[in-house]
A and B are shown apart, each in its own frame.
Chain A
């Protein structure tokens, strides 16, 4: 499959009969500009300061996400990928998530104090893992921890969203798309063979 260069793609844009005859008012042009600007990510300058999480919550989140997605031979950890900052952004962007997040983190501390007398972040790696072993598995027998298991499931989902959607995560998954292709030739022989399918000739 042949990829088209960005330059060729841009030339295609120009050649295409865009709705160029549309007359834009200054207000409309400004609105379009604002839309475009809003989608750009500001380059991180100062150290990150959470807008939603307290310092303690942020520390807890940072420990949790790396327990969920640790560094391994193929890619870095969730904190390497900036997942805690992503979560903080989402809490402000989708405020309906706030109560469940705040309450879930408080519940984890409560469970930690019950089990090893300290808040979650102050536990040893072994203590933290023993707590996760109780709440990270939806297949665990019901021992009165259903709310903690539900919270952890949704926290795990958000961690996955934040990790796999980064450059690092996408490269790890070997996603090959989002490119300009001049001719669609279907899928390669190796992929066909693995699935046991073929194109009719």
Chain B
């Protein structure tokens, strides 16, 4: 196949424009590097394209999901679980759900902005209890990058001094909503820690960005850039250097290498004309998302790298985990016919519950945190009060039904658990030997299985959420799922916190990258997404992706200055 090559050799080629790619572009461009960025999707500008202020009735489908917007048509992320022409497959008996963004900024356009640091214990789990592995870096080594990140991006929160939930450089948190105070009352009685949330949404102006206007629609993409997304916060300063070239609709096919085993660039398919192109670069930074990066490395085979690029360990694609997740809703009679007022606030909850127990006294080794929801957040749209019979016990029709909708509107709370899954040998991705996507690129095949660790943790989540609902005088809206149903655990991948496929480590036989996220086998290849994670603390991976990408990129800049790269 004829490949169209650009004459220019860039200093760095970054694959992906999300959290990791955006951070790498910012740090490296500001350090003087000429950078080319490949993005598989199209351009998107939240200032123009966001549906932030749309009313449900602005669209005939009233906000319902579409194939490319599974979280609703107004959502800020184009992509989804099933992308036309880009299949992935499941091994027999496995289910892994893979959400991919296809747009500038990727999934940072709609993520929950829950920006939790990992704590000191999260980096040394094996040392503490023999399960899982230690990271090759400590909290103290990454802390300065978390601090810089907080100052650069902006985050609200409160100083709490909880040992494994490190405080950051916080803006003031917004006051809780009424029902959140009611939840906190119940949590206090049950001795569950309930504190202000930690979201990368500005409550004060920062670095030229305005404070939040409290429309509650962060997930649609913020038209004023008051929350974090890569195109709102990281790409503008990178572009301002004049050193960043973004190529959109560029579906990476392969990382190119020379005889000496170094990267020389990346080949990609232009989705518009379906032809192959290649960009040359002295350094390659993969930030395509953990699984897409693993796929790209596994597909980059050559005489020197028969099992995929930088995969002499055979570890690429292994150690894949997602956060565990499940949710329980409750009907709270005390919230019926509440006093009408604006409950929107920021996107997401104003309070959350960090892990509050000691796993040594429990039958599962890792914790979870609880995310809250409920009330009258966001205008009634598609799916409004579905299953009214769960509230009034009968369903029905007519005037009394109409009044039931009014009575029960907003009288709901939701609890979602997000827990740590421990890597296991049954959960990984590999190249499917017989299936390609519409560009002819071999696709990933997933293997996924939870162990007793996660199943017991899920049971604890279910029991806790029901206990809080009962403490609030309410009734859970769904029955307790059975053990056979894994207590309602969402399939692996569903929480969209997939990490670990190119993990860091000090031993090249058991890890892909070193402590600087540099491939053991290929010194000018780096990974800047969630692939390098050694474990998946229940801390929602984005803040650590960003801090780690900043650290990796500063290392690259330093090595370039020293002439080592």
Binding site for B on A (CB under 8 A): 1, 4, 9, 12-13, 15-22, 24-25, 27-28, 31-32, 35-36, 39-41, 67-70, 72, 74, 86, 89-90, 93-94, 132, 136-139, 152-153, 156-157, 160-162, 164-167, 169-170, 172-182, 184-188, 190-192, 194-199
Q: Give B184's nearest chain A residue, CB to CB.
A: A197
From the candidates B55, B212, B403, name the one contacting A178 in the complex (CB within 8 A).
Answer: B55
* Contact in complex: A157, B386 (CB < 8 Å): yes
Stretch from B295-303, B311-319, B373-381, B449-457 contacting the other chain: B373-381
* Contact in complex: A197, B385 (CB < 8 Å): no
Residues of B within 8 A of A89 (CB): 60-61
From the candidates B60, B176, B212, name the one contacting A86 in the complex (CB within 8 A).
Answer: B60
* Contact in complex: A195, B45 (CB < 8 Å): no
From the candidates B175, B342, B380, name the one contacting A164 in the complex (CB within 8 A).
Answer: B380
* Contact in complex: A21, B342 (CB < 8 Å): no
Q: Give A32's nearest chain B residue, CB to CB.
A: B49
Contact of B58 with A by CB under 8 A: yes
Residues A67 and B398 in contact in the complex (CB < 8 Å), given A165-B382, A184-B214, A195-B335:
yes
Q: Give B212's nearest chain A residue, CB to CB.
A: A184
Residues of A within 8 A of B55 (CB): 167, 170, 178
* Contact in complex: B53, A24 (CB < 8 Å): no
* Contact in complex: A178, B344 (CB < 8 Å): yes
Residues A186 and B175 in contact in the complex (CB < 8 Å), given A41-B59, A165-B384, A180-B215:
yes
User: Bound complex: CA of A63 vs CA of B238, how far in Å?
Assistant: 59
* Contact in complex: B402, A70 (CB < 8 Å): yes
* Contact in complex: B342, A176 (CB < 8 Å): yes
Stretch from B88-96, B223-231, B494-502 contacting the other chain: B223-231
- A and B contact pairs by CB, cutoff 8 A, 14 listed: A16-B209, A17-B208, A153-B395, A156-B388, A156-B397, A157-B387, A161-B64, A165-B380, A166-B56, A166-B57, A181-B214, A184-B345, A191-B178, A195-B178
Residues of B within 8 A of A160 (CB): 384-386, 388, 405
Residues of A within 8 A of B397 (CB): 67-68, 132, 136, 156
Residues of B within 8 A of A194 (CB): 338-339
Contact of B47 with A by CB under 8 A: yes
* Contact in complex: B379, A175 (CB < 8 Å): yes
From the candidates A13, A24, A68, name the one contacting B398 in the complex (CB within 8 A).
Answer: A68
Contact of B126 with A by CB under 8 A: no
* Contact in complex: A173, B406 (CB < 8 Å): yes
Please give the distance in Å from A36's CB to the nearest CB on chain B. Answer: 7
* Contact in complex: A17, B395 (CB < 8 Å): no
* Contact in complex: A172, B406 (CB < 8 Å): yes
Q: Give A185's nearest chain B residue, CB to CB.
A: B175
Residues of B within 8 A of A170 (CB): 55-57, 379-380
From the candidates A40, A72, A177, name the one contacting B215 in the complex (CB within 8 A).
Answer: A177
* Contact in complex: A28, B248 (CB < 8 Å): yes
Contact of B4 with A by CB under 8 A: no
* Contact in complex: A197, B214 (CB < 8 Å): no
Residues of B within 8 A of A32 (CB): 43-45, 48-49
* Contact in complex: B62, A17 (CB < 8 Å): no
Contact of B480 with A by CB under 8 A: no
Q: Give B203's nearest chain A residue, CB to CB.
A: A184
* Contact in complex: A137, B395 (CB < 8 Å): yes
Binding site for A on B (CB under 8 A): 42-49, 51, 53-64, 66, 73, 104, 174-179, 181-182, 185, 203, 208-210, 212-217, 223-225, 231-232, 235-236, 239-240, 246, 248, 272, 334-335, 338-346, 376-389, 393-399, 401-403, 405-406, 409
Residues of B within 8 A of A165 (CB): 56-57, 62-63, 379-382, 384
User: Bound complex: CA of A137 vs CA of B386, how far in Å?
Assistant: 15
Leading 8 A-B pairs by shortest Cβ distance: A186-B175, A177-B344, A197-B181, A174-B340, A165-B56, A21-B239, A191-B339, A18-B47
From the candidates A22, A35, A138, A199, name the one contacting B394 in the complex (CB within 8 A).
Answer: A138
User: Bound complex: CA of A1 vs CA of B401, how far in Å?
Assistant: 33
**Apart from A39-B58, A170-B56, A186-B176: 17 A-B pairs, beta carbons within 8 A:** A12-B210, A32-B43, A39-B59, A41-B57, A74-B406, A93-B61, A137-B395, A156-B395, A173-B405, A175-B376, A177-B215, A177-B342, A178-B53, A180-B213, A184-B212, A187-B177, A195-B178
Residues of B within 8 A of A12 (CB): 210, 213, 224
Residues of B within 8 A of A191 (CB): 178, 338-339, 341
User: Bound complex: CA of A22 vs CA of B179, how far in Å?
Assistant: 42
Which of A16, A19, A20, A176 has the most C-beta atoms of chain B within 10 angstroms of its own C-beta? A19
Residues of B within 8 A of A197 (CB): 178, 181-182, 185
* Contact in complex: A19, B236 (CB < 8 Å): yes
* Contact in complex: A195, B338 (CB < 8 Å): yes
Residues A16 and B47 in contact in the complex (CB < 8 Å), given A162-B62, A178-B344, A187-B178:
yes
Please give the distance in Å from A162's CB to the nearest CB on chain B. Answer: 7
Please give the distance in Å from A167's CB to the nearest CB on chain B. Answer: 6
* Contact in complex: B54, A39 (CB < 8 Å): yes
* Contact in complex: B394, A139 (CB < 8 Å): yes
Residues A36 and B49 in contact in the complex (CB < 8 Å), given A161-B386, A174-B340, A187-B341:
yes
Please give the distance in Å from A185's CB to the nearest CB on chain B. Answer: 7
From the candidates A4, A139, A169, name the one contacting B393 in the complex (CB within 8 A).
Answer: A139
* Contact in complex: A40, B58 (CB < 8 Å): yes
From the candidates A161, A176, A192, A198, name the one contacting B62 in the complex (CB within 8 A).
Answer: A161
* Contact in complex: B45, A22 (CB < 8 Å): yes
* Contact in complex: A39, B176 (CB < 8 Å): no
Q: Give B174's nearest chain A residue, CB to CB.
A: A184
Please give the distance in Å from A12's CB to the nearest CB on chain B. Answer: 5
* Contact in complex: A70, B398 (CB < 8 Å): yes
Residues of B within 8 A of A161 (CB): 62, 64, 381-384, 386
Residues of A within 8 A of B335 (CB): 195
User: Bound complex: CA of A184 vs CA of B173, how far in Å?
Assistant: 10
Residues of A within 8 A of B210 (CB): 12, 15-16
Residues A192 and B181 in contact in the complex (CB < 8 Å), given A41-B60, A181-B214:
yes
* Contact in complex: B402, A69 (CB < 8 Å): yes
